[in-house]
Amino acid sequence: MRMRPTLSWTPTADLPPGTTDPRPVVDALRTGGVLVLSGAGLSTESGIPDYRGEGGSLSRHTPMTYQDFVGGPQARRRYWARSHLGWRTFGRARPNAGHRAVAAFGRHGLLGGVVTQNVDGLHQAAGSEETVELHGSLDRVVCLSCGTLSPRRELARRLEEANPGFAPVAATINPDGDADLTDEQVGDFRVVPCTVCGGILKPDVVFFGESVPAPRVEHCRELVRAATSLLVLGSSLTVMSGLRFVRQAAQEGKPVLIVNRDPTRGDVHALTRIALPLGPTLTTVADRLGIPLDDGTAARADH
């Protein structure tokens, strides 16, 4: 029997309280070599909801699991109908001040790397180079049979052609790019196959219930080993894919700093958790470091 993936975590009463003092982050960045680990909370100010914060999507939405996706054509029809509609909004999201601050820290040589749990591409759109996409990216599609990768925009065009007039109104777009649609709205949506072998297409992301590729995990572990400290931005660290790097940094005696409004599963390993909004906080940090942020006009044009 397959177990459902862990989607929630309940804070315990003995967690250290959060603070409103960003000085530890400023001090860590002055030292340099900081590894950033970002989560969905960093993208909420770009209009993409998170999973577990106040009003998070998990309160009304169960993400697609890998087991469900490969389990039958109806699940894939439902996923691709919802994801195709969501992509129209998701693909228009732009980096916010938090993304631009991280990119600016990188340009000034203060970072040892960026690892993101997000699949929205906003770090790269803001100018962060060599970002490790821990869970993949929604702007790519992979064939489960032959492994061919193709651009999401190409699939979007094919789905438009296969489903003319498909334009239901969705109440909400979720962090995984999935729009909330009823079965009636999904209707008889047509899914298209791989153009190379006719196989099943899947977004090149790690679904819940699926494992992050081992080489990618090891690369992230190497980044933690090389870092002077770990800065977690907007992640509850509920799932092990991100929490393991926090635990590794703590075990190696490296400071862990977290900026997240709500308590996280990694707080017990952290030097501090700053319970403030990410965009304004990182803007303040950049200002104290004398680092200007761009105005957002440099965001990647094709995002």
Name the residue among 91, 55, 48, 73 with its Cα closest to residue 186.
73
Residues labelled catalytic = 135
Binding-site residue numbers are: 39-59, 117-120, 143, 146, 194, 197, 234-236, 278
Binding-site residue numbers for Zn(2+) are: 143, 146, 194, 197
